[in-house]
Chain A
Amino acid sequence: TFSPSEGTPYLTINHDVAADLDSTNAFEGPEKLLEVWFAPSAKALPAGVKEGGLKAVNPDSWTPMLDLVHCKVLSIINSENVDAYLLSE
């Protein structure tokens, strides 16, 4: 079992989604970009917010939201200050 040391980014691949992905019908290049801030910085989370803020949310919790968007999680890089989700479509 691979146990990354603290602070080292590590990658998790969702093989169930990544294995048979077909993007034949993708056609539109330009993306839509949404950025939502809930606090001025990671060090200034309001009282009552869980430690780690949004990063403390279980990754599975984002799945229903991403279903509405029509994206699926292919893989995730977890790191100390940001988690990067690579998505289908």
Chain B
Amino acid sequence: HRRERGKKKRRRSKKVQRHRKAGAECRRHPMYVSFNEVGWTEWIVAPVGYQAFYCDGKCPFPISDYLNSTNHAIVQTLVNSVMPDRIPEVCCVPTELSSISMLYLDEQNKVVLKNYQGMVVKACGCR
């Protein structure tokens, strides 16, 4: 019975380790940009803020498929594993961005609705 308990404990600890390791991998993190905090809601009517997200984490070899790595990123990772002092690791960067619509007042107090591209991170990857 004790042996079985010990085995279960080891399995759990391995699972936790895996999760922690996965947490350090490149992924999307929340980053809320509040226009209210900087006093821009006087002229930005809507939204009062938006979730922009950011990318952070490591890109260890082998790079997972969901990280949208390029062939070059794989090669760079390989070379980095051989010569870590000379070649840096690949970067965790946004690979897919989406736009937001903003309703604001211009210099003549006219109401404008505009679509801005590349404002929200949709996916992160190793590039």
Q: Do A and B bind each other?
A: no
Which B residues lie at the A interface, using CB under 8 A? none
